[in-house]
Amino acid sequence: MDMELISTYVKNLDRELGGGIPKGHIILISGTPGTYKSSLAFNIVYHSSREGMGAIYTLLEQSRDSLLLQMGRMGYDIRDSALSELHIADLGKIRQALSGVEPKSWDKGFRGYVESLVEEHLPEILVIDSLPVLEILSYFKNRREYLFHLFSWLKSLQLTTILVNEKPSITSPFGDEDFLADGILQTALKPIGTSDLQRQIRCIKLRAMNHNTSWFALEFRDGGFRIAPAI
């Protein structure tokens, strides 16, 4: 059986992944601050949803308005008519939906809320931006157990999932999420010479795919992302 693949809509990246992201995978976009993690997640669901593949973007770190302002300035069409298949639920909206839910049950409430969005909109892609903030809002004693249940739940949704993950530096150790995920795209800001920095991306793992693991320059130009050989 052929595996269905989802495009990243980053020029030249799908090829380096072996074709794209397998449908149903749980993927981490993991990286240091300001390395286009959210923009990349948005880029995938923006284009996918315009191709008819509906998506839900849960935004726990910033408001819907602030994300759309940023994306609009980058050149994405953020009019409601362009985003009809992309449902963005920010923390304000989620809090509203979960008002009255005990802090200890917030995690369960969040899952129920996402399930209700999935039932309503029948998306194919789910974004959680970000995993560390979801952890902060959730109550658990054992992180490993928490992540195991989170990933089992995500698998049960049978969607392609993108989890935005923050890493303080590229030398940060791997966490349990790195083992549980089907794929990891890592983003970083690398020094070029003595005075410059370059945004870079690499695929650390992608189950079932014969992907490249090299670093590439990640550029946003003329309204779109592309990768190029790293300097």
Ligand X SMILES: Nc1ncnc2c1ncn2[C@@H]1O[C@H](COP(=O)(O)OP(=O)(O)OP(=O)(O)O)[C@@H](O)[C@H]1O
- Contact set with Mg ion (CB under 5 A): 37-38
Residues 211 and 152: their CA atoms lie apart, in Å, by 25
Beta bridge partners of 203: 185
CB atoms within 10 A of CB 86: 23
- Is 39 among the residues that bind ligand X (CB under 6 A)? yes
Shortest spacing between CB 1 and Mg ion, in angstroms: 35
Shortest spacing between CB 188 and Mg ion, in angstroms: 14
Residues whose CB falls within 8 Å of the CB of residue 52, separated by 6 or more in sequence, listed in order: 85
Q: Which of 1-9, 14-22, 28-36, 150-158 is the region at the interface with ligand X (rule: CB under 6 A)?
A: 28-36
Q: Which of 34-42, 81-89, 102-110, 209-217 is the region at the interface with ligand X (rule: CB under 6 A)?
A: 34-42
Shortest spacing between CB 12 and ligand X, in angstroms: 18
User: Which SS3 state, helix, strand or coil, does residue 5 take?
Assistant: strand
Angle between helices 37-50 and 64-74 (to 10 degrees): 80
Among 1, 2, 52, 73, binds ligand X (CB under 6 A): 73
Taking the least distance from each CB to Mg ion, the nearer of 38 and 186 is 38
Among 17, 26, 28, 38, binds ligand X (CB under 6 A): 38
Shortest spacing between CB 71 and ligand X, in angstroms: 9
Taking the least distance from each CB to ligand X, the nearer of 87 and 199 is 199
Residues whose CB falls within 8 Å of the CB of residue 149, separated by 6 or more in sequence, listed in order: none
- Is 170 among the residues that bind ligand X (CB under 6 A)? no
Residues 54 and 20: their CA atoms lie apart, in Å, by 17
Shortest spacing between CB 74 and ligand X, in angstroms: 4
Residue entry with tokens 């790195």? 178
39 binding partner (options Mg ion, ligand X, none; Cβ < 5 to 8 Å by kind): ligand X
Q: Sign of the C-alpha dihedral, residues 42, 50, 180, 189?
A: negative
Separation of CA 139 from chain center? 22
Give the interface with ligand X as residue ranges (CB under 6 A): 31, 33-39, 61, 73-74, 220
